[in-house]
């Protein structure tokens, strides 16, 4: 059976500023849900009709019996919400929308576009397109803050006047999706915060090259916060990809005030470029806070202890050449 729609006060640190979240859970209530044998709740079933009625009651009471709903979180199983659900939600005016995609990993946002919500933040989880790339709805370009979490091969239609200023992409081919979005939306000069955490199975650069990434990153001239975690396995034969990480410092925009970097332990084999830039006070002249670490993959023989002297030397050099810099964990 379907779980009843419910609302709750937002308490997670990432939900700062939120007061009330509506969770529309379209998954099976059984915790042993099987993605192959699950029963689909049809739109004409009595259970579904009751679910919609309860959802309608919540929407009608919005801002009356409880604080106004400012975030809608939809959890899907076999299918994305149908038009009935979106029609009911039309009465809300949320600023944040979180869509947890279905088992078949669709990303259909056309209905969201018709709602004309005043969205400030859009989170898309577990959506996947085919290899050629399935473009999400045009609504994506209109939202200032975009998060693609565990998505894969989501590429975009060229658009002008894009509003995206804050971008987070985690897992799978995160770097490819970043390059495509910045290129298609033309927001290189407008991005203010960027977080990229790649997957650990080598999905990056299936469509673009390391040179495309460094070129795009260098063009982000308004970037204030940069958080990079490229996950390249030590055992994978990615020598050319690993080398771009060693040369990466020359492509960081001067505008960055906060830098967080987590890289593979193999970078320690050629760390000279990072150390060279660290001695230069003119490198990253606006930097105020820095977090830096190297890690090893689970199957790798080296450990983080091997690279600890390299990391500490880099941090000490940065502190000496950049007075007032704060080292954070």
pLDDT digits (tens, 9 = 90+) for 83-127: 888 889 988 999 999 988 765 566 667 777 778 788 899 998 888
Q: Which residue has the higher pLDDT, 282 or 310?
A: 282
Higher pLDDT, 9 or 168: 168
What whole-number distance in Å separates Cα of residue 127 and Cα of residue 267? 31
Mean pLDDT, residues 168-193 taken together: 91
- With a cut of 60, say whether residue 52 has pLDDT above it: yes
CA separation, residue 25 to residues 28, 115, 153, 292, 317 (Å): 8, 19, 25, 38, 51
- Counting every residue written for the chain, the total comes to 329
* Domain ranges within the chain, ordered by starting residue: 1-127
* Angstrom distance (rounded) from CA 30 to CA 19: 29
Least confident of 55-64, 272-281, 301-310: 301-310
* The pLDDT of residue 36: 35
Crossing angle of helices 210-218/174-185, nearest 10°? 50
Average pLDDT over residues 221-237: 77
Average pLDDT (21-34) is: 64
pLDDT band at residue 214 under the 50/70/90 scheme? very high
pLDDT of residue 11: 36
Give mean pLDDT, residues 163-189: 91
Residue 224 confidence (pLDDT) above 80: yes
Residue 44 DSSP code: T
Percent pLDDT > 90 in the chain is 36
- Dist CA 28 CA 65 (whole Å): 28
> How high is the pLDDT of residue 45?
63
pLDDT tens, position by position, 238-289: 455 667 888 899 999 999 999 999 888 778 778 889 999 999 999 999 999 9
The tokens for 7 are 């609302």
Banded pLDDT at 169 (limits 50, 70, 90): very high
**For 31-40, b where at least 16 C-beta lie within 10 A, e where not — what string?**
eeeeeeeeee
Query: Using 50, 70 and 90 to split pLDDT, how confident is the model at 299?
Result: very low
3-state DSSP assignment of residue 177: helix
Burial zone of 312 (CB within 10 Å; 0-12 exposed, 13-18 middle, 19+ buried): exposed
Of 275, 272, 196, 205, the closest CA to residue 236 belongs to: 205
Phi, psi of 97 (to 5 degrees): -135, 130
- Residues of the chain with pLDDT > 70, as a percent, come to 74
Mark out the alpha helices in the chain (DSSP H runs): 46-60, 83-89, 110-115, 174-185, 210-218, 239-246, 272-278, 304-321
Q: What gap in Å lies between CA 127 and CA 153, rounded to an integer?
A: 9
- pLDDT over threshold 80, residue 236: no
Which one of 53-57, 137-141, 305-309 scores highest in mean pLDDT? 53-57
**Interatomic CA distance for residues 100 and 80, integer angstroms:** 9
Mean pLDDT of the chain: 79
């Amino acid at each position: 059976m379907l779980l009843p729609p419910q609302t709750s006060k937002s308490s997670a640190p990432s939900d700062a500023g939120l007061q009330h979240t509506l969770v529309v859970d379209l998954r099976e209530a059984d915790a042993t849900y099987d993605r192959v044998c699950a029963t689909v709740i049809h739109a004409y079933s009595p259970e579904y009709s009751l679910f919609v009625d309860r959802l309608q009651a919540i929407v009608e009471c919005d801002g009356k019996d409880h604080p106004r709903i400012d975030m809608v979180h939809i959890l899907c199983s076999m299918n994305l919400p149908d038009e009935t659900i979106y029609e009911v939600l039309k009465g809300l005016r949320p600023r944040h929308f979180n869509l947890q995609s279905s088992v078949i990993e669709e990303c259909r946002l056309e209905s969201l576009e018709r709602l004309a919500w005043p969205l400030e933040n859009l989170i898309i989880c577990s959506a996947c397109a085919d290899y050629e790339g399935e473009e999400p709805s045009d609504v994506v370009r209109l939202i200032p803050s975009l998060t693609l979490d565990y998505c894969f091969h989501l590429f975009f239609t060229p658009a002008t006047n894009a509003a995206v200023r804050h971008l987070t992409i985690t897992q799978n081919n995160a770097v490819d999706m970043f390059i495509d979005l910045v290129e298609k939306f033309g927001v290189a000069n407008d991005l203010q915060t960027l977080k990229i955490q790649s997957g650990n199975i080598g999905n990056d650069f299936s469509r673009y090259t390391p040179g495309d990434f460094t070129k795009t990153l260098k063009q982000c001239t308004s970037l204030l916060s940069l958080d990079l975690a490229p996950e390249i396995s030590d055992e994978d034969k990615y020598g050319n990809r690993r080398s771009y990480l060693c040369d990466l410092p020359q492509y960081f925009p001067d505008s960055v005030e906060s830098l967080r970097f987590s890289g593979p332990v193999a970078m320690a084999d050629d760390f000279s470029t990072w150390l060279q830039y660290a001695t230069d006070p003119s490198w990253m002249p606006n930097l105020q806070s820095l977090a830096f670490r190297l890690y090893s993959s689970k199957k790798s023989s080296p450990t983080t202890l091997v690279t600890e002297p390299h990391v500490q030397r880099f941090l000490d050099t940065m502190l000496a050449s950049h007075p007032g810099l704060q080292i954070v964990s």
